[in-house]
A and B are shown apart, each in its own frame.
Chain A
């Protein structure tokens, strides 16, 4: 079952599809990183830059979805972009999360028959949940951190405060907020597509 599905996906990818995946993957990475770089300059705007990069990523992603006509393209997009990120040091679990998010996004745009604009906004919101991936080690490796000798000197009160701040609940809240920003990004992408790209014949 899975092998036939894979083969069909591979066969139906025309070179033009693969070029779209590559071009929009590169655009997505440059836009997301270009905006996140602003955050590295100044720690105060780090979180704002992160949110802005999620919103901005919606613009190339929505434009990419207008070129998607069949299953598998969003998954290949995720494999390629997350694969590059993994080879530049992102944790492997982030790759797995990206692919899962892409499969969910595939299901959503499939439900819209690859034409629904409203569902493409939702697909980007779901896809942007991958942002939790690079944060995962902070949470799952916190016991390492708290077990270290420097933390043992800090006293139990401080450690319990920190445990509360780095709890799974906060992680879930973070991921929910990325989905909300993803929704905003999808809407912005849709608006800009109508305002600029359709006029220019790029959509």
Chain B
């Protein structure tokens, strides 16, 4: 039972994190998967504009103004390479680049929606949503650990890369000259230092009951609300317009 001031504090915390649009992580994941299934399927090319519009709307709701502009501009630039470049230079080698660009265009269309999921969902909320969606424990716990370690390992990778650069090794020049050696120099220190950090973090996580049979409660339990309904309806409308067109 929470008291009234506690509840308002929680509400403030919940509203303060992101300004306008707050979707349930399950809805965000559903939007990504729905877009991916339609755009990436054979014959999914017509869905690209709808996915881009959805990505822009989500960016608007999130207040990510830069992405509202960058997303369509990136898509347009890739579309030029995919469809106009082969007309200017009709060689098969250029054609392969254009075909890859046509695929990249689909990737960007889905990626715009995926960015919304990644930018607005903290790992804890995401794992709470996975639990609420009845994903098996083996998957939720390892996904939680993965998401927890990713930033740590990225930081370690940056440190290793900086150290390599300081000694004048690495970069793509080094990769071309000594591929195996540069792989070794990058991965071995990264793995060694990450595993050392992992040991400590996993001991702490086990002590806090990670992977225990009891179902953990969430600070912000995933709830489906009006915003989720609206988002799904907008996505459905965009898909319907695409099909009718």
Q: List residues of A whose CB falls within 8 A of some B CB.
A: 6, 9-10, 13-16, 18-19, 21-23, 25-27, 29-31, 34-35, 38, 41-42, 45, 48-49, 52, 55-56, 59-60, 63, 72, 76-77, 79-81, 83-84, 86-93, 137-138, 140-145, 148, 150-151, 153-154, 158, 161-162, 165-166, 188, 192, 196-197, 200, 202
Asked if B191 and A59 make an inter-chain contact with CB atoms under 8 angstroms apart, the answer reads: yes
Residue of A nearest to B111 (CB): A89
Question: What are 29 contact pairs spanning A and B, CB under 8 A?
Answer: A10-B138, A13-B138, A18-B141, A18-B145, A22-B143, A23-B146, A34-B157, A35-B175, A38-B172, A38-B175, A59-B183, A60-B191, A76-B138, A76-B142, A79-B139, A80-B139, A89-B36, A89-B107, A141-B45, A141-B106, A154-B87, A158-B90, A161-B92, A162-B99, A165-B92, A188-B184, A192-B187, A197-B188, A197-B192
Q: List residues of B whose CB falls within 8 A of some A CB.
A: 29, 32-33, 36-37, 40-45, 82-84, 86-87, 90, 92, 95-96, 99-100, 102-103, 106-107, 110-111, 114, 117-118, 136-139, 141-150, 152-154, 157, 161, 171-172, 175-176, 179-180, 183-184, 186-188, 190-192, 194-195, 198, 202, 205-206, 210-212
A143 CA to B99 CA, complexed, in Å:
11
Q: How far is the CB of B181 from chain A (nearest CB, A)?
A: 11
Task: State the majority secondary structure of interface residues on B.
Answer: helix
A76 CA to B205 CA, complexed, in Å:
19
A59 CA to B194 CA, complexed, in Å:
14
A55 CA to B154 CA, complexed, in Å:
19
Asked if A141 and B103 make an inter-chain contact with CB atoms under 8 angstroms apart, the answer reads: yes
Residue of A nearest to B110 (CB): A89
Beyond the given A18-B211, A26-B145, A55-B179, please list 14 additional residue pairs across the A-B interface where CB-CB is below 8 A: A14-B211, A19-B141, A23-B198, A30-B150, A30-B157, A30-B190, A55-B183, A84-B143, A86-B32, A88-B111, A89-B110, A165-B92, A192-B188, A202-B191
Contacts of B198 in A (CB 8 A): 19, 23
